[in-house]
Amino acid sequence: MRAKATDLYERMTNYNTIIFTFLWCDLAQEVARVHKNIQRRDLQISDVDRSIALLCLHLKEEYPLDFEIPDIFPWVNGRTTHIMQQF
C-alpha cells in the first residue's frame, strides 16, 4: 500500500501532470464561455462560425506550438499566477 501511495504521489506531483492540469482548466474555462455564448437562440450560423474562429485564433495566440508552456494562463482566474510563479 505504501508503494502505491508513493507512486501516486510521484505521478500527481510530476511537473508535466501539474502543467497539464492548469492547461486543461484554462482551456475548459474558455470553451465553456464560448459554448455558453453560442447557445443563445438569437444567433445565426455565421455568429457561431465567428465565435469558433475567434476561439481558434485566441488559442493559437495564447498557446503557440513552439513554446513548451505559456507564461500565463489567461482564462484561469485567481490562483494560477501565484502557483506558476512558484515553478
From first to last of its 87 residues, what are the pLDDT tens digits of the chain? 889 888 888 888 887 787 777 778 778 888 888 899 888 889 888 888 999 999 888 888 877 777 666 566 555 555 556 565 655
Cell 485567481 belongs to residue: 78
Residue 76: C-alpha distances to residues 10, 21, 24, 51 (Å)? 25, 11, 10, 19
What is residue 40's predicted lDDT score, i.e. its pLDDT? Answer: 87
pLDDT on residue 65: 73
| Cell 501532470 belongs to residue | 17
In angstroms, the CA 30 to CA 26 distance is: 7
Looking at residue 80, its pLDDT comes to 59
Find cell 464561455 and name the residue: 33
pLDDT of residue 61: 80
Per-residue pLDDT, 22: 75
